[in-house]
Every structure is written in C-alpha cells, then in structure tokens.
Structure 1
C-alpha cells in the first residue's frame, strides 16, 4: 500500500446536500427515536471519494466519527449518539455498500473504505477527529488511524479479537461455538453464491447472525436491519467487505509494521470477546487501554449503551 498516496490532500470541502426527506433508513423513518433525537440529528447525503454517502450528523463540539459493523448501518449507534452529542459533533455514516450509501461493484478493501471516511470528514469540515469502530467498522477504523494518523486524534475499537494481518488467522477447524461465530467470514467471501442462497431468506440468515454473535436484540430492531438488507443491491453490498479480504489482509501486514501512536481503547463485550480485543491490539498500537463492557455481548452499543458511553467519555477526556 502506498502511504503517500493515501495521505494526499483532498479537494476543497464539498457542501453536503440538504437534510433528507423521511425515506426508509433516515432519521425521519427509523423506529424508536425520541423527539430530542430527531431534533438533534438529521440525515444527509455527502459526495466524497467518488461516493454518495448517507450520514447522520448532530451535536456540537469536537468531532467523533462512529463506524458501524456488519450487518448493520448507522442505526446501530442510536442509543449512544444523543448522549455523545451533548459535548461532541457526532458523525455516523453508512459504510460503502450498506444502508443508504452507494453500493458500487468494487472498493471494499479497508484502505478504500478508510479513504471514504477521511474524505467524508474533510467534506464536512473536520480535519481532526476521534473514531469509534465496531466489528467490520473496527477494521475500517484501524485502517483510518493507520493511513491517516495526522487526522485521527484517538481511536476506540470494538469487538474483533484480532485484526486480519495483525494477528495470525484462526485455523479452519475450530471448536463449534467459535465456528458458529466465524463461519460467515468464508461464506460471505464466496462470489455470487451467498446472494443466491440468502435472497428471500434474509430473515433466516441475518436473524441467525444477530443471535449467534451474542445476545438478543429486540425483534423490531432486527426486522429494521433485515428489511434494509432485503432491498435491491444490498446483499451484494453487504458482502463486499469480505470479498476484498485478501487486499485488506495484505494492507494490514504493511500497516502493522508501524504501530499506532495515538491513544487506543480496545472494547469487548463481557459476554463476547471480552479482553481478547485488547490482547489482539497489542501488536498494532503503542498505547492500548482495554474496556470490558458489562451486560453486553457483541452488540455493545445496543445492549449496554450507558456503560459504553461511560467508557468512551473517560477515554475521550483522558490525556
């Protein structure tokens, strides 16, 4: 990976389109959001890095970027956003291929996904910011911090026990409980077949994934995600991250040659990856602190939002 080209200056900031009308997947139509939330946040499209990105923005203060994981979208952060917005400008995009963002055929390696977000933040006028990433968003946020260290002030990384290329890959044959949580990675990497098998059965496939990763989410929440993943082009877009795994693996091998120097908070759900997230980041960063979120499995921002906000607030205020 060419670090110099990754860190090239972006064009002048692009003015975002006006707040979006209430279409499915925006703040205006997503379920269970309070009046205060809808007053604080709005959905908009921003054209950045050649991609039309859907992003939810609100609050005032130092910028913090929240990067969701698979198979979710910005809505995964809804239970922590309003509290964080009291002291921060909170920026929550849909990843390339997910939610209402564009779903091109290519560009799902973490180098490109990180550049999407760096360009997005530039377009919104934020040259320095903190980042929080969960699941696939953890891998993207690591790439963002590694490729744009002058832009990222500090980074919190949640719920991956070891980044590909940074720690050794698990063997093909692992105990059943671990296999059940990891099998989607090789499955999602296969071209075309997953779409043919999952289309029309999204509730079965994604319902299983939400459950097996740890902890039950409310039915209306999983239904919300599954409806979005059932929209045209959404399955292919959701698998894109996994189909560029080889490129991400090679990039991370290069990234790991230089440890992150900014503060890093490694976050694990108490009933999920726990302290393994911090252990996995020791080879990738110089200054790693670990937070285990009580009362949470994999879906930390939805299962224990108060405990997560407490950990993030302490981290963001630390020297």
Structure 2
C-alpha cells in the first residue's frame, strides 16, 4: 500500500493481507477497533474506493475493506461470481478474521453481495447499508426501448454480459472504457481524481484474468436474478440504510430496498453522483455512523 496515495496516517492503522478461504485467496485491508464493519466495493473498483472513509470509521469499528473474488489482489477463478457465492466467500473471510457477526456496507454491485449476505446469512449480519443500489431480481427491469437517460445509466449491463466481444473491444483500451465510467457517473468528470482512476484501471489492465473477471459478475446475472427472486420471498427485518446520489440513483436506492426490507432509512446526497464514499466522504461517514449508532 505504500505506493498508493492514501490519507495521512492510513498506514499506521491499516494492514493489507491475503486470507485463504475455501481454496480462494481474498485480499482485505483491515484496521481499527470495535464492532466489525465489512465494506464491499462496486464495479470496476477495489478496496481503494473506501480509502477516504476508512480512517474515520476505524475510530469506532474494526474495518474490513475487501477485494471480492475477481477484483484487485484477490484470486480470479473462472466461476463463482453469482451473489450467493460471493456472499459465502465473505462470510468465510470474516470468520477467518475472527468476526462471526458484522455489519455490511455495499456499493454498486457490492449491494448485490450485501443483500445476499443479509438474506442468506441473517445470523452473521446485524445491519446493512447500500450505496447506489440497483439490484437485479429486485429492481424492475427497464423497458427494451427505454428513455435515453436510462440507457445512459444502464447500457453497461447488456454490454458486460456479452460472451467474448466485450473483452476484445476493451482489451488495450481499458483506460478509455473504465475511465469513461468514472467521468460520466460522478458529479463532474474530474470528481474522481486521476490517481484513483489509475489505481482501478491498472488493477484490471495489469492482469489478463482481471478483465474477464470484471465482466463475470454481469455474466452471472441470470443466476443472481433467480437467487434474488427467491430471497425476496422472505423480507429482511434488519435495519437497512439506502444512500443514493441525487445526480445518479437518487431515491431509487431506498425504493429498491423497500421491495425487500421492512426497516429502510433512505438518504439522498445532494450534488453527488454514483460514488458517495469518494465524492462526499465526510457526509457519508456522518450518515453511516448515525445509522449504525442508532441501531446498536
């Protein structure tokens, strides 16, 4: 981590480690004291997406920011990218780290894993927070010929599910393809700094297996959707926080979670796009800590 741009004092608190779970090596950055808090990032990011909120959260929590299978420094097997398997990975990871019960925060596709964790492993998960949640199998599917604004936000779902062509088109153009995601989904094209985009893009471009794995979450959507349709038959009873950026998902994050949970607190962040933890870290920490403290 010493080569990364990090908040002052970060390396005094946090440790990077590889943990062997079920024949899989998962990378996690851990630190802090208090109840365990698992942070699950989105596509196409790594644990690094949480860097600005981790020091503040570590004052009250033992923070575990993970690279799920296929991401960052974690192993990149050929399969296992459905939400149920990803959730089982993280239960095993947390157990290996000594945490039998923990709270979960998920962003983007990390909300798919977060929902599966809460639904499939209720004895482990105390509270769930989701950022920018669009959860296949819960969220209504858009019409085939939807409004242009919806297509701008959701086109990658179809593209990422292609079998081979997407990899051929993106390979060698990773900075263009993934850089465009950050430039168009944040509040402004420069809200996510270039150094952070470089970290995310380099993690994919440096490993030929990483590009395939980045699409594998989407190629597994048929399985994830079927799982979520079953999960939704039993509503979540734990407290759920749903945060949306006003310039991206807005109130849809809370609307999505109300389809599956009884106790949902919805928050919309003004002047924020798709990346609340990076765009408004101080405000996000305040909202999350209030949620976690109120439900202890």
The reply to whether TM is greater than 0.5 is yes
Deviation at 1:116, TM superposition (A): 0.6
For structure 2, the residue ranges without an aligned partner over 5 or more in a row are none
Deviations 1:213-240 (A, max 9, x none): 2323111211221111102211011111
C-alpha contact (below 8 Å) 1:229/1:235 kept by paired residues? yes
User: Which residue of structure 2 lines up, in the alignment, with residue 143 of structure 1?
Assistant: 116
Asked whether the 8 Å contact 1:99–1:228 carries over to 2, the reply is yes
Gaps of 5+ in 1: 1-26
Q: Is the CA contact (8 Å cut-off) linking 1:181 and 1:212 kept in structure 2? A: no
Q: Which moved more, 1:164-173 or 1:281-290?
A: 164-173
State the alpha-carbon separation in 2 of the partners of residues 179 and 85 from structure 1. Answer: 38
CA offset at residue 35 of structure 1?
Answer: 4.1
1:12-91 matches, within 5 Å, as: 27-31=1-5, 33-91=6-64
Q: Which residue of 2 aligns with 1:157?
A: 130
2:151 counterpart residue number = 179
C-alpha displacement at 1:178, in angstroms? 1.7
Alignment of structure 1 residues 257-272 onto 2, 5 Å = 257-272=233-248
CA distance in 2, matches of 1:214, 1:181: 12
Q: Give secondary structure in 2 for the equivalent of 1:312.
A: helix
Pairing 1:198-213 to 2, within 5 Å after superposition: 198-213=170-185
Q: Do the aligned residues in 2 keep the contact of 1:188 with 1:242 (CA within 8 Å)? A: yes
Please, what TM-score do these two structures have when normalized by structure 1? Answer: 0.89
Check the 8 A contact 2:17/2:28 in 1, yes or no: yes
Instruction: For 1:220 and 1:167, locate their aligned partners in 2 and report how far apart those are by CA, in whole Å.
Output: 33
1:98 aligned partner: 71
Q: Secondary structure at the match of 2:51?
A: helix
1:221 aligned partner = 196
Tell me if structure 2 keeps the 8 A contact 1:180–1:212.
Answer: no
Give, in whole Å, the separation in 2 of the partners of 1:195 and 1:171. 26
Considering only aligned residues, what root-mean-square deviation do their CA atoms show, in Å? 1.1
Is the CA contact (8 Å cut-off) linking 2:7 and 2:51 kept in structure 1? no
Distance 1:37 1:275 in 2: 33
Residues 264, 289 of structure 1: 8 Å contact kept: yes
What SS does the aligned partner of 1:144 have? helix
Relative to structure 2, which stretch is displaced further, 220-229 or 193-202?
Answer: 220-229
- Aligned residue-pair number: 291
CA positional deviation for 1:34: 3.3
| Cα distance between partner residues in 1 of 2:269 and 2:91 | 28
**SS at structure 2 position matched to 1:93:** strand
- 1:313 maps onto 2:286 in alignment: no
Deviations 1:225-270 (A, max 9, x none): 1111102211011111001000000000000000111100011012
Q: Spell out structure 1 runs of 4+ moving beyond 2 A.
A: none
Alignment-derived partner of residue 11 in structure 1: none
1:248 aligns with 2:224: yes
Query: What is the SS of the residue equivalent to 2:268?
Result: strand
- Which has the larger displacement, 293-302 or 241-250? 293-302
Q: 1:236 aligns with which of 212, 221, 224?
A: 212
